[in-house]
Structure 1
Amino acid sequence: MSSNPIPDPSSVRYDGPWTHRDVHANGIRFHVVEAAPAGVPAAEAPLVVLLHGFGDFWWSWRHQLRDLADLGYRTISVDLRGYGDTDKPPRGYDGWTLAGDVAGLIRALGHTEAALVGHAEGGLVCWTTAVLHPRLVRSIALVSSPHPVALKAAVLRDGRQRAAWLPNFLRYQPPRYGEHLLTTLDGFEIERLLRGRAGVRWARTAEFVDTATRLRSAIRIPGVAHCALEYQRWAFRSQWRPDGHRFMTAMRDPVRIPVLILRGEDDAYILDSTVRRNHELSPNRRMVAIADAGHYAHQENPEAVTAELAKSLTCG
């Protein structure tokens, strides 16, 4: 049980050097947070879209929002479908719909293309959008997010990656059980995951405690836990269905735009060997290890991540 009131979706609209907006795309309303360069019309600045991972929300990219805007980019951090203050429809958590969400957002924001940056599951949405909507994607950058084909191969063939990744993935599959785990004890399960995957240095900071508190609140917004788990449940269920076979077949088309793959050196959840798999599916890729960081490199060492993103965006 929880000792705190159920959070309202608007509780994730934290004040800062950014603007909260509602954008309608692909049939639903998205809550996005925008930081734009000073003195430049929004439509004229290159668009960068930031996509968070499992159990997270737009706040994950707070550092990059400010820093990339200062470098001249119109930077948008999104509450993905089902998260934060974005709509929480009962369906649409398959790869095609999620890619359609991002494509629709790019168009709704008045742009013809964007650079995509994603962490973990948000990175998988980047890969998918680059394959299914290639004309809209200028480049992609991933934080601890291997290509979907590479991740599946690693889980099947690499015992170390399987042991790190599979237990929680399977644990959340039964209906209602995962939702119960994520929302009871004021969302402690999210802090457990965060602490278990973060590097030791960040986990000892006040910023970590603040981040964990915000995530524990956000996961308890009505509907969020269920929607978050539907991403993983579709990935599991689809393995035995025609739509899953079609999806993995489509994902074997190489991504030929510039690809930046970042991984924290201390990430024990996604292994280095996993992100290095299947080079032929992203031949124009650059890989960088981020020091003093675990699974959340963009939060644990934001300066290093932003510096690498700046290089990638310039080249892309």
Structure 2
Amino acid sequence: MPPTPDPSSVRIDGRWAHRDVFANGIRLHVAEAGEGPLVVLLHGFGEFWWTWHHQLTALGDAGFRAVAVDLRGYGDSDKPPRGYDAWTLSGDVAGLIKALGERRAHLVGHGWGGLLAWTVAALHPRLVASVGAVAAPHPLALRRQIFRTALRGQRKNQARAIGELFAAQLPILPERRLIRDGAARVEARMRRLSGPQWTYQPEFPVAVRNFQAAALVTGVAHSALEYYRWAVRAQLRTEGRRFTEAMSRRTEVPVLQLHGALDPVVLAPTMAVSADLAGPDLLSVSLAGAGHYPHLEAPEVTGTILKKFLSGP
């Protein structure tokens, strides 16, 4: 069996600084670049802070203080046995903003990180200046689409993603599957969700290797799957109803919805429902040729869109 990567192995060198920040009772590892208005970058499932390395430097060079964080349970951040519910995760981000010495922050998230950005804006509105959701519909829009797909059996790729969501509810086995054969499932997932052009680019195997190594860090597989487990189990609990009530209010801050036109799991109808839950200051952009990872598949275009959005009118 190959050695398990050390958590510090995710501290990849570049034009950024690594440090630890204590927030909401845990230690969070961040990579930081630039000075100016704070932009907190939140990664998705099976990723870590490095997923934002292009935007980290681009935003830093553009006059922003860009901070990419390893979320609870990922990378070199703490991996406690509990706390993977939306309330606690939102508290992590809120605590991070305060610990960084700022009163407000722009939140940009991909996938699950985008869902978290929407959630923090609802639960801690005074701390959020704007929401940039990359391949990340509003949580209630996603739930609605999941129910529709499950009932009608439509959309093969989305149905498969829903199947993975429910399969994650099993104990132990999902963790073993995720890290089996050097986390081969990480690569398979990336190939399935990406636009076809990116998989032939030189950076694709680099991203695969980095995400696989990060997934193999002790505790990451379990922590990552706990996000899925709470999302399903909460539907049967009182906290799920409270979460729905909290998220039902329109998001009052400016919102950017950015997704790839070829994304097989985040579909246009779902994004349309998300638009209904956003406030009047909404910008929706679809990138032709991109799949589920616009920030990696089209980094320069994504960076340009983010900089324009974050700079305001």
TM bucket normalised to smaller: over 0.9
Equivalent position SS for 2:244: helix
Kindly provide the CA deviation profile for residues 196-216 of structure 1, in whole angstroms up to 9, marking residues without a partner as x. 101101111221001101111
8 Å contact 2:158–2:265 — kept in the other structure?
A: no
- Mapped pair 1:135 → 2:126: yes
1:248 corresponds in structure 2 to 244
Aligned-residue offset at 1:292: 2.5
Aligned-residue offset at 1:278: 4.4
Kindly provide the CA deviation profile for residues 79-126 of structure 1, in whole angstroms up to 9, marking residues without a partner as x. 000000000001111111111101000000000000000000000110
Letter in 2 for 1:56: E
Aligned-residue offset at 1:171: 2.1
Could you tell me how far apart the structure 2 residues matched to 1:5 and 1:206 are?
26
8 Å contact 2:158–2:264 — kept in the other structure?
A: no
Change (3 A) 1:11 1:98: same
- Mapped pair 1:58 → 2:42: no
Aligned-residue offset at 1:286: 1.0
Equivalent residues in 2 for 1:153-168, closer than 5 Å? 153-158=144-149, 159-160=154-155, 162-168=158-164
Could you tell me how far apart the structure 2 residues matched to 1:86 and 1:34 are?
15
Aligned-residue offset at 1:291: 2.4
- Mapped pair 1:18 → 2:16: yes
Change (3 A) 1:27 1:208: same
Q: Percent identity?
A: 50
- Of 137, 150, 154, the residue aligned with 1:146 is 137
Equivalent position SS for 2:258: strand
Letter in 1 for 2:239: D
Could you tell me how far apart the structure 1 residues matched to 2:27 and 2:293 are?
27
- Of 170, 179, 182, the residue aligned with 1:183 is 179
Q: Which runs of 5+ in 1 are unaligned?
A: 38-44
Could you tell me how far apart the structure 2 residues matched to 1:62 and 1:203 are?
18
Change (3 A) 1:172 1:61: same
8 Å contact 1:156–1:162 — kept in the other structure?
A: no
Could you tell me how far apart the structure 2 residues matched to 1:300 and 1:84 are?
22
Equivalent position SS for 2:197: helix
8 Å contact 1:154–1:162 — kept in the other structure?
A: no
Could you tell me how far apart the structure 2 residues matched to 1:250 and 1:273 are?
23
Name which of structure 1's ranges 303-312 and 224-233 shifts more when overlaid on structure 2: 303-312
Aligned-residue offset at 1:36: 1.2
Runs of 4+ in 1 over 2 A off after TM superposition: 158-162
Aligned-residue offset at 1:164: 4.6
1:302 corresponds in structure 2 to 299
1:314 corresponds in structure 2 to 311
8 Å contact 1:131–1:253 — kept in the other structure?
A: yes
Equivalent position SS for 1:293: coil
Letter in 2 for 1:60: T
- Mapped pair 1:28 → 2:26: yes
- Mapped pair 1:197 → 2:188: no
Query: How many residues matched?
Result: 307
Could you tell me how far apart the structure 1 residues matched to 2:138 and 2:252 are?
13
Letter in 2 for 1:251: M
What TM-score comes out, normalization by structure 2 length?
Answer: 0.96
1:263 corresponds in structure 2 to 259
Could you tell me how far apart the structure 2 residues matched to 1:278 and 1:189 are?
29
1:40 corresponds in structure 2 to none
What TM-score comes out, normalization by structure 1 length?
Answer: 0.95
CA RMSD, 1 decimal? 1.2
Could you tell me how far apart the structure 2 residues matched to 1:307 and 1:278 are?
23
